[in-house]
Amino acid sequence: MPEQPIEDDPGGRAWPDGPANSGRPWADQPAESWSGQPADERFVGPVTYAAAVPPTQTRAGFFARLAARAPSWSGPVAIAACFAGVASWVLISDPTDSTATDPPSCLVKLTTGLDCPGCGGTRAFYYLLHGNLPQAVRHHAMAVLAAPLLVWLYIAWSVRKVTGRRLPVPQLGGRAAVAFLAAWAVFWVARNIPVEPFTALYV
């Protein structure tokens, strides 16, 4: 009768007369010395299985490798192409004569009649592209205020990516962000006050 594995060894790797009793690792002894069967050269030890990689990690790794192989100028060019596409759409669509029901519609203004925090931003962008600064400020002063900073940050980032040169950029901390958001909230409330001179800000 062939010998049976020890009860506390579910894998059946330790046998009564095998390496478990000899004091040597079972992989150091030939299989016929403890199993009674000829050694199989294909058997090299315990089988291990690699952990399954989630699909999200696989996709993230693919995009990371793609970004690493892309030339340094590809990022700035891609953003510039997106900006050119949006600017072209704004110039062609002419949002200055649009209403709340025209695309892109504003759900807040459509349901309440009030300007949302972003209302007038597309029209302000349209007037900026035409060089009409007063009308751009009237339609969305906060967007016009943030535009020069955003443009400069893009230029500094693009120069650093392409040439490695670092341009000076303003160091804005959390307080500056909170102050800007607070000013934006005040602007949003003020433009919805139905009293002169606040009605001039309503779009």
pLDDT of residue 20: 47
Query: 61: pLDDT confidence band, cut at 50, 70 and 90?
Result: confident
* Average pLDDT rounded to a whole number, residues 135-159: 93
**pLDDT tens-digit series, residues 84-121:** 999 999 999 888 877 766 766 788 888 888 899 988 89
pLDDT band at 172 (very low <50, low <70, confident <90, very high): confident
- Structural domain including 110 reads 75-201
- Residue 28 to residue 128: CA distance in whole angstroms: 79
| Domains contained in the chain, number | 1
pLDDT at 186: 94
HSE-up (13 A, CA, CB side) for residue 114: 12
State pLDDT tens for residues 34-57: 445 555 555 555 655 555 555 555
Write the burial class of residue 154 (CB in 10 Å: 0-12 exposed, 13-18 middle, 19+ buried): middle
- The answer to whether position 195 is within a domain reads yes
- Distance separating alpha carbons of residues 77 and 147, to the nearest angstrom: 19
**d(Cα 198, Cα 187) in Å, to the nearest integer?**
10
Please report whether residue 3 resides in a domain. Answer: no
Is-contact 170 149, C-beta < 8 A?
Answer: yes
Burial of 192 (0-12, 13-18, 19+ CB in 10 A): middle
Better pLDDT: 170 or 98? 170
Residue 157 lies in a domain: yes
Q: Identify whether 86 is part of a domain.
A: yes
39 occurs within a structural domain: no
Domain assignment present for 135: yes
pLDDT at 100: 63
Asked, for residue 197, whether it belongs to a domain, the answer is yes
Q: Residues, the chain, total?
A: 203
Choice between 32 and 160, residue whose per-residue pLDDT is larger: 160
Within-domain flag for 122: yes
